[in-house]
Structure 1
Amino acid sequence: MALPSRLRGGRLSPRAADAVVAVVVALIVVVWTLIQSRHQSEPTSHTVYGWLLIAVGCGALFFRRRMPVTVAVVTLLACAVYYPLSVYDGPLMIAFAIALYTTAAEGRFAAAVALAAVTLLAVGLGEIRQQPGHRQIDDTSLAMLAGWLISLVAIGRAQRTRTAYLHEVAQRALAAEREQQARARQSATEERLRIAREVHDVLGHSISLINVQAGAVLHRLSKKPEPEVALAAAEEALEAVKATSKDALRELRATLGVLRQADEAAPTSPASGLGLLDELVGRAGAAGLDVRTRVEGTPVPLPPPLDLAAYRIVQESLTNVTRHSGARSALVTMDWGPRELRLRIDDDGEGAPEDRPLGSGIRGMAERARAFGGELTAANTTDGFRVDARLPLTVSEGDLR
């Protein structure tokens, strides 16, 4: 029985609580015995043995949770010797009652029931052996003792069940909290990766085009053309850089719009999608790449997330063609089927080195396709390089989030 005592604002440790219980029970027994000794007397040897039994019975309570059965047996034996020996009849039985309760509360239910039964049988046999008229406990008191012992065991059992239930609830709450934290971390990681992929696609494509355009005009200027020709080339390149950077800023604002505060206005520019494919092709053409588009089948409206994924795949493919392949032309084919959209981007460049793994851009495109239940492959062809993506037109609600 743990006392609800507190020490300096914190709960007592189990050992400290056991020590407090032992001291409190000892004080009760000692005070009761001293009061009784004023009105009754007994042989000195009996008094000495009585005090020793009180010390053993009360002191054993300090170990009640570490050795519950042993402490219960010790306190029971101390009571069995003390009460026939001493005339004071002090409340040493309290020590056994606490020890019996602790035995049941610590999960030793069978031992607690056995000790209660042994106690009741011993008391009953002891009273039966008394001479008529000399019984210390009548039948009513014996029945009350039986109920008292049963109640101690039952309360201890209930406390054990309650403690186990509270521990299970705490463990479930802790597991649920950990699972929630893990899901939150996973969601945050996925969102960071998504935003990083969007920023990579937007900035990678635009900066690559600006780099190509700037490199082309510098190459032309290095040949020292006539001032009029040089000025026209510079103006053309600057106009292309201006248009490309403007488009990049528009897409970047739309991409980072997910990070705006709740009271901020949503971006008003249209979201990227296949509807802006002509602008994308035009920017690639300004960088010197001849891009043609071909549509097969009947186009259908796409959900915004799927439309954006298709656009990004084409955008990243053209970025790779501009930056790495050395190609002069590219063909974007959109094959609209009844259940899926096939995107093929073919170029006439040098292709990818066979001994090098595919770059992060292609891995990002493949992740976009897989996010909607599709797939993407990229490989060299006899004429250059091909990116082939399959995007199902029917996607689940979870994929559109």
Structure 2
Amino acid sequence: MVTWRWHGRAANIALVLVVGLVAFVGLVVQSRGIDTAAEWAALLAVLAASGALHFRRAHPVTVGVVALAAVGAYGALLHRPGPIMLVFVVALYTVVDEGHLTVAIGLGLASVVAFAVADGNNRTADGGNGATLLHAGWLVAVIAGVTRNRRAYLAEAQARVLAAEQSKEEEARRRATDERLRIARELHDVLGHHLSLINVQASAALHRPDPTRSEQALIAIKQTSKETLRELRTALGILRQEGEAPTAPAPGLNRLDELVTTAGRSGLEIRTELADIRPLPPEVDLAAYRIVQEALTNVARHAGATAAVVRVRPDHDEVVVEVEDDGTGAPGPAGNGIHGMGERARALGGSLTTGPGPDGGFRVRARLPLRPGPAPAGAPS
């Protein structure tokens, strides 16, 4: 769609032609033809002033002075005002619209004087100064109307600028908050899982003085701490190189066996049931891995369970991730781990449900869309 702009070149040329044509026709009608030298000189004044309107936006004050001089010359040549005043009104409008209010007032007063002189030369004995007063009122209306419109336009433009700045600041604050939450969630998942396992294994070594079991616990602690450092370096590398290729790939379900092996060192028996699924988008793959990781951490720390099962299966346009244990401990209030899992799922447009399993224990189920979308309205990011 073509947008018509009054300040465009074509519109400006059209305005010059229309105003010049009206002034020319008015001169011909008023003089009943162009015969005398004065009338030809008045025609030149009309053409010069009309042509000057083409430059009214670039040089508004100069064009206003030229139009005023043409009006004065027209009145002096023909001893009466004429339709050339339309040229001056357009020029005066531009002067006001460009913000030169003081100049516009001066030009308006000067035009009133010139109009009065020309009208006086053509006035009959019974005539009055009604035409001059009408002209003055017309110019006052032009100046006042354009000034009011300009102030309203400037106020609206300023309000839009302030609104845009506030919107940018709010967006920047929102992005900063989301980034802090993302970093906190990532570090919580990386550190919380491994440190919890180290804590469980250390407790087992302290409460079981059997040298063989203590040695196994220390070996498990060593392997878990090594894995902790590796994942921490990977996570920090991803966070530091936002927008660039990370130095190491983010973990996904392809590392589920490593995760199960690490969690199993605490004495938990873990079984996996993986259905054939197509390759997941990176953000979905990472979210699924972190949800399984956090769920197994909670099982090791709080559930008092001896066994757990991890299920991953496709369901239409979603992938379903479940972690179910046989624990007997009643779940407490939701902590950062469950909140973090819910945030990960909702950030992709999915959902997370937690609660008792059908055969006892505790179950975590996440539904993640294979085509991640925005979080639903009102949901935490």
TM tier, shorter chain? 0.5 to 0.7
Amino acid aligned to 1:173: V
Q: CA deviation at 1:238?
A: 2.9
Q: Is the 8 A contact 2:205 2:218 kept in 1?
A: no
Gaps of 5+ in 2: 1-96, 98-115
Which of 339, 346, 350 lines up with 1:370 in the alignment?
A: 346
Q: CA deviation at 1:151?
A: 1.2
User: Residue 207 of structure 1 aligns with which residue?
Assistant: 195
SS in structure 1 at match of 2:273:
strand
Residues 244-253 or 167-176, more deviating: 244-253
Q: CA deviation at 1:237?
A: 2.6
Q: Is 2:174 the counterpart of 1:174?
A: no
Q: Is 2:138 the counterpart of 1:162?
A: no
Q: Deviations over 1:307-329 (max 9, x none)?
A: 00000110000000000011111
Q: Is 2:252 the counterpart of 1:273?
A: yes
Q: CA deviation at 1:192?
A: 1.1
Q: Deviations over 1:190-228 (max 9, x none)?
A: 12111111111111101000101111111122xxx4xxx
Alpha-carbon separation, structure 2, partners of 1:350 and 1:392: 32
Q: Deviations over 1:86-136 (max 9, x none)?
A: xxxxxxxxxxxxxxxxxxx9xxxxxxxxxxxxxxxxx9xxx9xxxx6xx9x
User: Residue 326 of structure 2 aligns with which residue?
Assistant: 348
User: Residue 204 of structure 2 aligns with which residue?
Assistant: 216
Q: Is 2:339 the counterpart of 1:359?
A: no
Greater Rg by CA: 1
In the TM superposition, 1:33-48 aligns within 5 A as none
Which of 269, 280, 305 lines up with 1:290 in the alignment?
A: 269
Q: Is the 8 A contact 1:317 1:345 kept in 2?
A: yes
Q: Is 2:223 the counterpart of 1:246?
A: no
Q: CA deviation at 1:362?
A: 1.3
In the TM superposition, 1:82-121 aligns within 5 A as none
Alpha-carbon separation, structure 2, partners of 1:346 and 1:320: 11
Amino acid aligned to 2:278: V
Q: Deviations over 1:56-103 (max 9, x none)?
A: xxxxxxxxxxxxxxxxxxxxxxxxxxxxxxxxxxxxxxxxxxxxxxxx
User: Residue 329 of structure 1 aligns with which residue?
Assistant: 307
TM-score w.r.t. length of structure 1: 0.58
Q: 1:351 to 1:252 in 2, by over 3 A?
A: same
Which of 217, 222, 226 lines up with 1:237 in the alignment?
A: 217
Alpha-carbon separation, structure 1, partners of 2:235 and 2:150: 53
SS in structure 1 at match of 2:340:
helix
Q: Is the 8 A contact 2:320 2:368 kept in 1?
A: yes
Q: Is the 8 A contact 1:325 1:350 kept in 2?
A: yes
Alpha-carbon separation, structure 2, partners of 1:336 and 1:302: 10
Which of 280, 283, 293 lines up with 1:305 in the alignment?
A: 283
Amino acid aligned to 1:272: P
TM-score w.r.t. length of structure 2: 0.61
Alpha-carbon separation, structure 1, partners of 2:231 and 2:252: 11
SS in structure 1 at match of 2:208:
helix
Alpha-carbon separation, structure 2, partners of 1:262 and 1:310: 21
User: Residue 394 of structure 1 aligns with which residue?
Assistant: 371
SS in structure 2 at match of 1:357:
coil
Q: CA deviation at 1:145?
A: 4.4
Alpha-carbon separation, structure 2, partners of 1:246 and 1:147: 92
Q: CA deviation at 1:258?
A: 4.6
Q: Is the 8 A contact 1:250 1:269 kept in 2?
A: no
Q: 1:180 to 1:258 in 2, by over 3 A?
A: farther
Q: Deviations over 1:141-164 (max 9, x none)?
A: 764443233212311211111011
| Aligned Cα root-mean-square deviation (Å) | 3.5
| Percent identity over paired residues | 53
Amino acid aligned to 1:165: Y
